[in-house]
């Protein structure tokens, strides 16, 4: 089966990506299998993400997964950008509370940093980098990068049990009264930063 390896250990991301790219009937990637790199390479070591931007880090991850598997690779680097924190946590979103800490610790640190702050504008940003697709689909680019965003604000406390990361704290503008973690997967994909990036990716692929 044609396969694209996804440079992540997060099963939620693989599910979102496969639903957006592999299930759409008009997608050049319909029928392609998306699988996490850690499922293919048992001893896989994540590369050091020392880029200066979301795209830089996504490219680092995609190239590493491609080198480890010999397959086309897709990587996402995403994070939360909070205006009141001068853009933090930004590219450090996954390790905001320190290396080895979980989502709950990151969320707790974010709330602590925003204690007493009334202006809580923020946005989720996602950059996707797809490398090596030309080996699977001739005529497609070897390197393709797209970015998407979702505007909103930070809640006073966590709400909802869906999603992951900062979803329980993020109140998207386009879903008034609900956090990202209170949306279904379909609702989230339709409005999320990663959903926006995935739609841009499809647009670019369909234009080739």
Which residues are annotated as catalytic?
77
Which of 140, 26, 32, 45 minimizes the C-alpha distance to 17? 32
In b/e form, how buried is each residue of 4-42, taking b as 16+ CB within 10 angstroms?
A: bbbbbeeeebbebbbbbbbeeeebbbeebebbbbbebee
Which of 29, 14, 143, 157 minimizes the C-alpha distance to 76? 14
Pairing mode of beta strands 73-82, 33-36: unpaired
Q: Which residues pair with 153 in a beta bridge?
A: 121, 171
* Six token digits for residue 128: 């996707």
- Per the CB < 8 A criterion, the answer to whether 181 and 159 are in contact is yes
Report the half-sphere exposure of 18 (CA within 13 A, side-chain side). Answer: 17
The C-alpha atoms of residue 119 and residue 122 are separated, in whole angstroms, by 9
């Amino acid at each position: 089966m044609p396969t694209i390896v996804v440079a992540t250990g997060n099963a939620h991301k693989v599910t979102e990506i496969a639903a957006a790219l592999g299930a759409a009937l008009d997608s050049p990637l319909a029928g392609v299998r998306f699988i996490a790199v850690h499922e293919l390479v048992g001893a896989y070591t994540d590369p050091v993400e020392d880029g200066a931007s979301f795209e830089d880090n996504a490219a680092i991850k995609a190239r590493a997964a491609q080198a480890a598997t010999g397959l086309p690779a897709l990587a996402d680097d995403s994070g939360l950008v909070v205006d009141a924190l001068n853009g933090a946590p930004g590219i450090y979103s996954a390790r905001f509370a320190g290396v080895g800490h979980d989502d709950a610790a990151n969320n707790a640190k974010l709330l602590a940093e925003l204690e007493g702050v009334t202006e809580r504008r923020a946005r989720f940003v996602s950059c996707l980098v797809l490398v090596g697709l030309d080996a699977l689909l001739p005529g497609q680019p070897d390197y393709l990068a797209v970015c998407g965003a979702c505007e909103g604000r930070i809640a006073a406390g966590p709400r909802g049990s869906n999603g992951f990361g900062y979803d329980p704290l993020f109140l998207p503008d386009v879903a008034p009264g609900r956090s990202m973690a209170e949306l279904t997967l379909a609702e989230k994909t339709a409005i999320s930063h990663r959903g926006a990036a995935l739609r841009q990716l499809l647009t670019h692929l369909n234009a080739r």
